Structure 1
Amino acid sequence: MGEESERLGSSAFEPGSLPTTVIKADPSREDPVSPPKPVMIVAPTVAGTYPVVFFFHGFYLRNYFYSDVLSHVASHGFILVAPQLCKLLPPGGQVEVDDAGKVINWAPKYLKSLLPGSVKPSGEDTSLVGHSRGGKTAFAVALGHASTLDPSTKFSALVGIDPVAGSNVCMRTQPHILTYEPESFELDMPVAVVGTGLGPLWKTKPPSPPCAPDGVNHKEFFNECRPTRAHFVAADYGHMDMLDDDLEGAVGYLAGCLCKKGKLDKSGMRRFVGGIVVAFLKYSVFGDKSEINSIVKDPSLSPARIDPPPQFHEASSFV
């Protein structure tokens, strides 16, 4: 890929070559293979075995608000499993973490039964991705806070998309995972943290506080990660700008108006988020450094302006 990738831009930011399909499944007492929580699965339709990525939505959001990003990642050869961890009122943070563990336990036995017949999940390559409070959920699961999770479960990668651990430092959500000690997270997988430049800013003063306040946002999550770790910040976009356009219902309306927004055209932010996830998963799962290295070397390849410069620190054992 090398020179051609640098000349044409990183292909991770463009849709992949694989057609995809969306499959939805709800819990059912009559069907033993049904998931413990409602799930939306986005998968390639071309025959093959693909790594599984669990994607956790943000506070009070809907899993289908991320359809564009999920389809982007799936088109590059991944199976996305996005559980709906809340519907009416969001449960406590620990409940969401435990529910995430239940869905992860369900997948090795029953996910295959919901996929197109020629599409198979790879049982050895499982990654965690989450946005906002879902980013914190992904970290909490990786750190062992899901009491429901099979302790033998291993993960290949972790990506937090503008993760948030509370409304401010004094109001952190359960479980408390931030320690405020550099490189304190004991994680045995590569970690990428994606941030937004506008997430820590007030929309209006008052009554709209920041959606991703300093002290509990992407900066602190990255600070507490150990190598291998990466950090990419979309300087001109806000906390919800990676969601789809035309969000439905009252929840969609609130998601579209509570946080400070960036550019009116959010497609660049969606391609940025999808591309970073794809490039980092290719690196973590397949050992393909070409695209992540291209982005770090030349941030202008990104459809969203990256500032400050991206950081990518490899552990010696992963080089």
Structure 2
Amino acid sequence: MQKTIMEMKMQVENEKEIGSVFEAGNLSVKTMKVKKSDGCRPPAEVLVVAPEAQGRYPLVLFCHGYCTQTSWYSQLLCHISSHGYILVAPKLYQWLLICKNDEIKTAGNVANWVARGGLETCLPENVKPDLSKTAVMGHSRGGRTAFGLALGHRHLAFKALIGLDPVEGPAPAAWVEPRILSYVPRSFNAGMPVAVVGGGLGNRSKGVFVPPLAPDGCSHAEFFNESRPPCCYFVAKDYGHCDVLDEERAGLGGLVCRSGKGPKEKMRRGVGGVVVAFLRAYLGGECGILEGVVAAPALAPVTMDPVIYVKE
């Protein structure tokens, strides 16, 4: 039976609404680097990305990957923020130095600082965080930090958890203690919805002497397998582990890991759109966009395969 003109128009409008999460939002955003010595005194240096328009916005704590800087994710964070979210990204490591295994503690201290109201003095005038709607997100080793924080830290009462190509190094490497993965399906007791977004090329080595940065057995598939419903899983099939970084940094990451041949800008929009759709569902109660992306992943600017959404 052929669709009526009205039905076709409605379909087009629905697709536009779903696809809008993969484009920049309507809000202008401001990026601020706040040091420990500044007036609001965060426990670690933080990068804050927030809408400039007056309002109260959900908050996302973002944990960056090892050997990266918070500013290397600015294009992805700005995409998310432009849809109406405040992003707080603490500096977790000293540049190119293997530090003590305290990144979960550092991220937790920043979460406590936010919960105590420290962030509000750093934000644009009349911009406030809605601490009843908070999520924690991380990339690479920062992804395992986000999982560790969600599994053991409750001061900020996170409502959602997002891992962007999360990685836990192969055992028995001491630098990844405490262990997050148990290899028991649905064993995580995070008590909140989970989204895992992986890169399809992350398990491929760059060359004989450069191992993959997201090897099989300790990366996105395992984190999803251990997540309890509701949980969703998206894999950007043709892109690599570092392709979510800012344009110039993604090129640098391509020196040490397999990179996708397509424009990295599409990868950032694809990941950013999935994150926005997930946040709308579980911080805003608007599930239609996420369900639409799951039902029609071709609306994303990159190929998402597989796409899995387990509600119960």
TM-score (norm 1): 0.90
Q: Secondary structure at the match of 1:246?
A: helix
Runs of 4+ in 1 over 6 A off after TM superposition: none
Residue 143 to residue 191, structure 1, CA distance change in 2 (3 Å): same
Percentage of pairs with the same residue: 45
Residue type of the alignment partner of 1:18: L
Residue 2 to residue 284, structure 1, CA distance change in 2 (3 Å): farther
Is 1:197–2:197 an aligned residue pair? no
Partner of 1:212: 214
Give 1:76 deviation, angstroms: 0.4
Partner of 2:4: none
| Count of residue pairs the alignment pairs up | 300
- Cα distance in 2 for residues equivalent to 1:253 and 1:245: 7
Residue type of the alignment partner of 1:277: V
Q: Secondary structure at the match of 1:124?
A: strand
- Cα distance in 2 for residues equivalent to 1:83 and 1:298: 35
Partner of 1:129: 137
Partner of 2:61: 54
Preserved CA contact (<8 Å) 2:17 2:289: no
Residue 285 to residue 2, structure 1, CA distance change in 2 (3 Å): farther
Preserved CA contact (<8 Å) 1:61 1:255: no
Is 1:10–2:15 an aligned residue pair? no
- Cα distance in 2 for residues equivalent to 1:90 and 1:177: 19
Q: Per-residue CA shift, 1:229-263, capped at 9, x if unaligned?
A: 0000000000000101123xxxx875341010112
- Cα distance in 2 for residues equivalent to 1:236 and 1:170: 30
Partner of 1:298: 296
Q: Secondary structure at the match of 2:277?
A: helix
Residue type of the alignment partner of 1:114: C
- Superposition pairs of residues 33-182 of structure 1, within 5 angstroms: 33-88=40-95, 89-92=97-100, 94-108=101-115, 109-144=117-152, 151-166=154-169, 168-171=170-173, 173-182=176-185
Preserved CA contact (<8 Å) 1:2 1:290: no
- Cα distance in 2 for residues equivalent to 1:9 and 1:141: 30
Partner of 1:272: 270
Q: Unaligned regions of 5+ residues in structure 1, if any?
A: none
Residue 2 to residue 42, structure 1, CA distance change in 2 (3 Å): farther
Preserved CA contact (<8 Å) 1:136 1:164: yes
Residue 171 to residue 282, structure 1, CA distance change in 2 (3 Å): same
- Cα distance in 2 for residues equivalent to 1:277 and 1:82: 16
Residue 121 to residue 163, structure 1, CA distance change in 2 (3 Å): same
Q: Unaligned regions of 5+ residues in structure 2, if any?
A: 1-8
Preserved CA contact (<8 Å) 1:59 1:134: yes
Residue 277 to residue 242, structure 1, CA distance change in 2 (3 Å): same
Partner of 1:27: 36
- Cα distance in 1 for residues equivalent to 2:51 and 2:275: 16
- Cα distance in 2 for residues equivalent to 1:186 and 1:139: 10
TM-score (norm 2): 0.92
- Cα distance in 2 for residues equivalent to 1:44 and 1:215: 38
Is 1:222–2:229 an aligned residue pair? no
Q: Secondary structure at the match of 1:286?
A: coil
- Cα distance in 2 for residues equivalent to 1:2 and 1:79: 32
- Cα distance in 2 for residues equivalent to 1:253 and 1:235: 18
Give 1:9 deviation, angstroms: 4.9
Preserved CA contact (<8 Å) 1:169 1:216: no
- Cα distance in 2 for residues equivalent to 1:91 and 1:276: 32
Q: Per-residue CA shift, 1:3-25, capped at 9, x if unaligned?
A: 31325652111110000001111
- Cα distance in 2 for residues equivalent to 1:208 and 1:159: 27
Preserved CA contact (<8 Å) 2:243 2:253: no
- Cα distance in 2 for residues equivalent to 1:21 and 1:56: 19
Q: Secondary structure at the match of 1:10?
A: helix
